[in-house]
Structure 1
Amino acid sequence: MTQRLAGKTALITGSTSNIGRSVARLFAAEGAHVIVSGRDATRGDAVVAAIRADGGRADLVPADLDGGSAASRALAAAARAALGRPLDILVNNAGVFPPATTLETDDATFDRVYGVNVKAPFFLTQAVVPEMIDNGGGVIVNLGSWVARLGLPVGGLYSSTKGAVETLTRAWAAEFGPLGIRVNAVSPGVIRPPDLAPDAAYPGEDLMTGTPAGRSGHPDAIAAAALYLAGDEAGFVHGTVLDVDGGRTGVAVLAAPPGARHHAG
């Protein structure tokens, strides 16, 4: 590895599995001291053990980010204590996705999804930014989603939270950029959890039919994008939402049998 994050500290929320786990492992491989965080301590311990086995530095700080400011402040303080110094990088990755329609969504579900997906990263950012400023700067990478910009008949509540996160990304870039903190986001497409059996169906994979990639993605692709945005190579990148979605949002999707050609008339 190139050690692009050597000497840096990083907190990745929701990093006990899938995208967050890939981000944590890659950041650690690139030299960062990583705080792994999530609700499942057993899975978190496994991520930390894997990082340490590869020669990286990582510690687990379990957290259930319910959207309350107290939970976010507690995580920020615990991460600071485990690291022994302020954070350089925050990755707001934790999120929940209920596949319900609008007519099926009740009050509790609405409050939980907005709590985890919007309020938690909002208050965690609020908690870590002052120390980043005092420490001379920092980087925040948010996780958006392609569904924030393309309408689907299910998951409207989730889509709206990711739209909020992408809006916050631009607003925070304007608010915190002059204070030395870069804020950007990665917008994943359909990402297949690597823990699934190879022959297991995964909801949403059919939505990649007709895209340039023609398939779902792997969490490592999102981790690579997050690494770029967190590193010095992206020093001139502010308020950007980087689409890593196999072309799902940027290219016209033309459903057709494999190998078929389309001609514009």
Structure 2
Amino acid sequence: MSMRLEGKTALVTGATSNIGRAIAEAFAAEGAYVVVSGRSADRGKEVVDGIRSRGGRADFVQADLDGSAAASQALAQQATQVLGGRIDVLVNNAGIFPGDTTADTDEKTFDQVYAVNVKAPFFLTAAVAPTMVEAGGGAIINLGSWIARLGIPVGALYSSTKGAVETLTRAWAAEFGSQGVRVNAISPGVVQTPAPGEVHTGEIMMKGTPAGRTGTPDAIANAAVYLAGDESSFVHGIVLDVDGGRTTAAVIAG
């Protein structure tokens, strides 16, 4: 590795599995000291142990980001302490995905999904961004989704939360960019962790796309490394599509 994040500290939410785990592992491999955050202490330990076994630096901070300001503020405080007093990079990745149709979504589910997917990163950013400003700068990376801009017949609730996250990305870039904090987002496409011999239904959604296949968590992690590092110092307020061309090119059925 080129150690593109050497000397930086990072907090990654929802980092005990899938995309969040891949981002935490990639950050550590590039030299960052990473706080892995999530609800499961067992899975968190597994991720941290794996990073340390490869020579990286990581610690786990347990957090249930339920949307309350208190939960987000507590995570920000604990992570800052663990990382030695500062967070250089924040990745707002934690989220939940109910695949219900609109008519099948009850009010409790609606409130919970907005709490986890929108309120939690809102209040975490509110807690972390000002301290980044005081420290001289930082980078915030939000996770959006391809279905925020390309409608599918299920998951309207989830896609609306990711639309909100993309809007917040642009608003925060305007709010914090002049103070040294860059805010950007990644919009993953159909991403799966492949299993030997398994054919996932997500592959159907990628037929006829430029990539012609589903993505892997590593593809999203590579984009996150770029947005976290100094190479992207002139990049503010973008939503980087990492989706195999699903939302940018016509899908030709074959």
Quote the Cα distance in structure 2 between the aligned partners of 1:169 and 1:43. Answer: 29
The amino acid across from 2:235 in the alignment is V
Q: TM-score, normalised by structure 1?
A: 0.94
Which runs of 4 or more aligned residues in structure 1 lie more than 2 Å from their structure 2 counterparts after TM superposition?
197-205
Task: Map residues 49-128 of structure 1 onto 2, 5 A cutoff.
Answer: 49-128=49-128
The amino acid across from 1:223 in the alignment is A
Q: Deviation per CA, 1:179-212, whole angstroms, max 9, x where unpaired?
A: 1000000100000034xx3334434331111101
Task: Map residues 158-237 of structure 1 onto 2, 5 A cutoff.
Answer: 158-194=158-194, 197-237=195-235
The amino acid across from 1:48 in the alignment is V
Indicate the SS of the match to 2:90. strand
* Pairing 1:247–2:253 present: no
Quote the Cα distance in structure 2 between the aligned partners of 1:136 and 1:74. Answer: 22
After superposition, the Cα gap between the structure-2 partners of 1:116 and 1:201, relative to the gap in structure 1 and judged at 3 Å, is farther
The amino acid across from 1:189 in the alignment is G
**Structure-2 residue corresponding to 1:263:** none
The amino acid across from 2:12 in the alignment is I
**Structure-1 residue corresponding to 2:32:** 32
After superposition, the Cα gap between the structure-2 partners of 1:111 and 1:203, relative to the gap in structure 1 and judged at 3 Å, is farther
The amino acid across from 2:178 in the alignment is P
* Pairing 1:12–2:6 present: no
Indicate the SS of the match to 1:102. coil
Indicate the SS of the match to 2:62. coil
Quote the Cα distance in structure 2 between the aligned partners of 1:198 and 1:250. Answer: 30
Indicate the SS of the match to 1:61. strand
Quote the Cα distance in structure 2 between the aligned partners of 1:170 and 1:203. Answer: 33
After superposition, the Cα gap between the structure-2 partners of 1:241 and 1:164, relative to the gap in structure 1 and judged at 3 Å, is same
Q: Deviation per CA, 1:202-236, whole angstroms, max 9, x where unpaired?
A: 34331111101111000000000010011000000
Alpha-carbon offset, residue 170 of structure 1: 0.4
Alpha-carbon offset, residue 130 of structure 1: 1.4
* Pairing 1:46–2:46 present: yes
Indicate the SS of the match to 1:243. strand
Q: Deviation per CA, 1:234-255, whole angstroms, max 9, x where unpaired?
A: 0000000000000000000011
The amino acid across from 2:133 in the alignment is I
Quote the Cα distance in structure 2 between the aligned partners of 1:166 and 1:189. Answer: 15
| Structure with max Cα Rg | 1
The amino acid across from 1:25 in the alignment is E
Unaligned runs of 5+ in 1: 257-265
Q: Deviation per CA, 1:1-60, whole angstroms, max 9, x where unpaired?
A: 111111100000000000000000010011100000011111110000000000000000
Alpha-carbon offset, residue 157 of structure 1: 0.3
The amino acid across from 1:52 in the alignment is R
Quote the Cα distance in structure 2 between the aligned partners of 1:46 and 1:234. Answer: 31
Quote the Cα distance in structure 2 between the aligned partners of 1:200 and 1:119. Answer: 36
Quote the Cα distance in structure 2 between the aligned partners of 1:136 and 1:207. Answer: 43
Q: TM-score, normalised by structure 2?
A: 0.98
The amino acid across from 1:141 in the alignment is I
The amino acid across from 1:160 in the alignment is S
**Structure-1 residue corresponding to 2:152:** 152
Alpha-carbon offset, residue 81 of structure 1: 1.3
